[in-house]
Structure formats: structure tokens, C-alpha cells
Amino acid sequence: MPSFFVDTSSLVKFYYPEQDSDKIEALLLKADYIYISSLAVVEMASALSKKVRTGDLEKEQETIIWNTFLDDLQTGQIELITLDDRHYFKAADLIRDFGVNYGIKTLDSLQLSVAHGLHNSKFLCSDKTLSQVASKMGMKLAPL
């Protein structure tokens, strides 16, 4: 069975119905391991908050989604990878290598740096630019 590193762009779609949510859910429900970076926790909170702010989500629904996400972290359904110095240095290298041509941003480079260290996992991402950079890095992409 596969394992996946899930970027926040796909993680949100797992918990909140959007385009491709069904495909992401199907992949993750079959996964042996699901990994996210500790950065994804902050990005998830931000994405859900934006959905409440824009009226796409009621605060009560946001609370349910957030608590479900936290439960998945607590029960080990999702494994959290803490960023350390090597991730920051790798992210800086990625920005230097891909920033000019792809406009890779700081937080995206950190996500990629963590995912790159998981050699046996596929990268699950709904961001086209980030997926292109991951592919250029030789990472295996999850089919969407």
C-alpha cells in the first residue's frame, strides 16, 4: 500500500469538499501512511479561517473540521513531521534553484523540503506549480 506526503492544498480538500476531494479521499483512505509537515497545521488553520471569512464555511462547521483534523493527528491517522534546520536549508536551496523560473514561495519550499526527505512516499498536491517543481526534483507524484 502507498504512503503519501500531503501538501496543505490537498489536505484541505480531504476535510472540506472541493474539486478533486473525492480523488484525494480515495487515495488517502487506501494509504498505509499519511505524512504532513508541522507547517501544515498552521496552513490548515489559515485555510479554514479564510473559508469562514469569505462565507464559504460557517464557524460551527469550521470547528467540526478542525477538531476532526486534530483527532486524526492525535490518533495517528496522520503522522506529523516536525521541521528542523535541514528542512530550512533545503528550502533555501529550492528557492535558489526554482524561485526565478517557478516563483516558488517560502512556505511551499518548506513543504517540498520535508516531502523530499520521504523517499518512499508519493507527493499529493493540488497546486500545479508546486507539483511541477516536485516533479523536476524527481519526486513521485500521486495521481490526481
pLDDT in tens, 65-100: 999 999 999 998 999 999 999 999 999 999 999 999
Please write the tens of the pLDDT for every residue from 11-68: 999 999 999 999 999 999 999 999 999 999 999 999 999 999 999 999 999 999 999 9
**C-alpha neighbours within 13 Å on the C-beta side of residue 66:** 18
pTM of the model: 0.94
- pLDDT tops 90 at residue 144: no
Fold of 3-82+119-136: Rossmann fold (3.40.50)
Please calculate the CA angle 54-132-15 and round it to the nearest 5 degrees. 35
- pLDDT tops 80 at residue 1: no
